[in-house]
């Protein structure tokens, strides 16, 4: 079994590949701003800036059933406090990159369930989440 940090890095790599397949252009990764947090993936699609949080867990995938090893779904880690921090980090990103703060931008979540034994993953995309 691979370690938690490795699951996170692998999940972000898989999420980038998945987003590209959905027409997103990845422009930045792992933008961190203390004390708020980190934006995992920043993309554009159809001229709109998108900020994505990636949540990954280790699990067993068989016959379309998923048994999560980490005892929770990846989307369970997106809570009100986390969303507030991500919003503040996104605003900092706009300022740091000198992007008009009135420009439209969207937030989304990519969940990645990784079965390291079978070398497979299930990815779900949640777009246009209201912050």
Spell out the domain ranges in the chain: 4-126
- Determine the pLDDT at residue 54: 94
- Determine the pLDDT at residue 62: 54
Q: Which fold has domain 4-126?
A: Trna Endonuclease; Chain: A, domain 1 (3.40.1350)
- Determine the pLDDT at residue 107: 93
CA distance 116 to 65: 15
- Determine the pLDDT at residue 120: 84
CA dihedral 62, 66, 67, 72 (to 10 degrees): 160
Radius of gyration of the chain (CA): 15
- Determine the pLDDT at residue 72: 63
List the one residue out of 92, 104, 116, 95 whose CA is nearest residue 4. Answer: 116
Which stretches in the chain have pLDDT values below 70?
1-2, 4, 60-76, 131
Question: What pTM, to 2 d.p., does this model score?
Answer: 0.84
- Determine the pLDDT at residue 52: 96
């Amino acid at each position: 079994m691979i370690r938690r940090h490795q699951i996170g890095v692998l999940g972000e790599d898989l999420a980038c590949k998945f987003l590209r397949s959905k027409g997103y252009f990845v422009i930045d990764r792992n933008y961190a701003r203390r004390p708020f947090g980190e934006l995992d993936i920043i993309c554009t699609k159809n001229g709109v800036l998108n900020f994505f949080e990636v949540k990954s867990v280790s699990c067993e995938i068989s016959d379309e059933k998923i048994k999560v090893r980490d005892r929770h779904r990846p989307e369970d880690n997106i809570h009100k406090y986390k969303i507030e921090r991500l919003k503040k980090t996104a605003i900092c990103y706009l300022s740091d990159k000198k992007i008009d703060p009135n420009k439209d931008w969207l937030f989304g979540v990519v969940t990645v369930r990784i079965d390291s034994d079978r070398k497979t993953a299930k990815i779900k995309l949640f777009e246009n989440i209201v912050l």
